A = this chain, B = another copy of it.
Amino acid sequence: MSQEILSSHRDRIDQLDEKLIRLLAERFEITKAVGTLKAEQGMPAADPEREAQQIERLHKIAKEVGMDPHFSVKVFRLIVDEVIRHHERTAEETSGL
């Protein structure tokens, strides 16, 4: 019986993980466009002021949904570091044209 409950929870987790990956892919599509724009305009890859605003906002949302705000920032940091790596690569490619 408990094995069935576990199995049903795991199916739901798998569905959420697929959604999560698709959502992240959509997010990277947009940050890719941002990266191209920044490279064309000669803007820096990172924007600490914007990041600080995002972190403050995510803290608020995390608290609202009962999640540890520090964990939400850890996830955000991981994503943003990846985005900055993408931006830097785009800038290199753009300047190399």
CB under 8 Å from chain B, chain A span 3-31: 5-6, 9-10, 12-14, 16-28, 30-31
* B-contact 0/1 string along A45-81, CB 8 Å cutoff: 0000010001001100110011110011011101100
A82 close to B (CB within 8 Å): yes
**Residues of A in contact with B, size category:** 35 or more
Identical chains bound together, number: 2
Q: A25's contact among B10, B24, B33, B65, by CB below 8 Å, is which?
A: B65
Whether A75 and B24, one on each chain, are in contact in the complex, defined by CB atoms closer than 8 angstroms, is: yes
> Known contacts A2-B41, A9-B34, A28-B67: does B21 contact A16 (CB below 8 Å)?
no
Partner of A24, one of B9, B40, B54, B72: B72
B-chain residues with CB within 8 Å of residue A72 when the two chains form the complex: 21, 24
Q: How far is the CB of A6 from chain B (nearest CB, A)?
A: 6
